[in-house]
Amino acid sequence: MANSLSFELRLLERMSERYASSILQEIGIAAADAARIRAQCSLKLPEQLDSDVATYASLLGKPVKSQPLGDDVPEVFAGSTANYFVLLLWPHLYWAVNTRPDGRAWGVGFCNQVALDFEQIEPSLIRKGLWTRSALEHIADNHELYDGWDEQALIRFAFGSHRYEGNFVFGLLQDWRKL
């Protein structure tokens, strides 16, 4: 559990200050204590985000499930496997680590544990810390990358005539605003 918490606090450190502070307050950990626990994590983020599954398993325990990704991936990632880990701070989400047949990781980040399918959704009800980029891209009428990179991305979404912008860190929604 100590390894998992140190890793998760390392993830939290990369997130928006307002969101990170709210999580620390919610779980009752002072910022100084979080820094001390976070320092125990051997994985440096974002530099080592593409670490192999064994590295993540040493921090989070064995994956709760692994499954082939199938044909819906670019050819360079053909034959890849998705590995899912449970998290203490985000028990409703998985930490996903996709691995190529040669063992190299790609597509690392948060994902939902269940497929979310809504015929209609009121986008103003979407809440940070609960939604992932992949889930919102799946249910939106349209989406586009506005700015970003591996760790952080700003995505614009269309839900009918409504336009929203989401800021994601490791695929987890940090901020949500109507355009």
Amino acid identity, position 41: C
* Mean confidence (pLDDT) of the chain: 93
pLDDT of residue 33: 97
Question: Which of the four pLDDT bands, split at 50, 70 and 90, describes residue 82?
Answer: very high
The candidate with the shortest Cα–Cα distance to 50, out of 97, 102, 3, is: 97
156/121: higher pLDDT = 156
What 53-56 contacts at long range (C-beta under 8 Å, 24+ apart), as own/partner pairs, is 53/83, 53/97, 53/99, 53/103, 53/105, 56/83, 56/85, 56/95, 56/97
Question: Which of the four pLDDT bands, split at 50, 70 and 90, describes residue 1?
Answer: low
pLDDT of residue 60: 96
**Location of structure tokens 């040669």:** 102
pTM (2 d.p.): 0.91
pLDDT digits (tens, 9 = 90+) for 24-78: 999 999 999 999 999 999 999 989 998 999 999 999 999 999 999 988 888 889 9
Per-domain residue ranges of the chain: 2-112, 123-178
- Asked if 60 and 4 count as a contact pair (C-beta separation under 8 A), the reply is yes
Strand-pairing partners, residue 61, are none
Distances in Å between the Cα of 98 and the Cα atoms of 4, 59, 162, 168, 169 are 19, 16, 33, 19, 17
Choose the most confident range, by mean pLDDT, from 65-74, 146-155, 162-171. 162-171
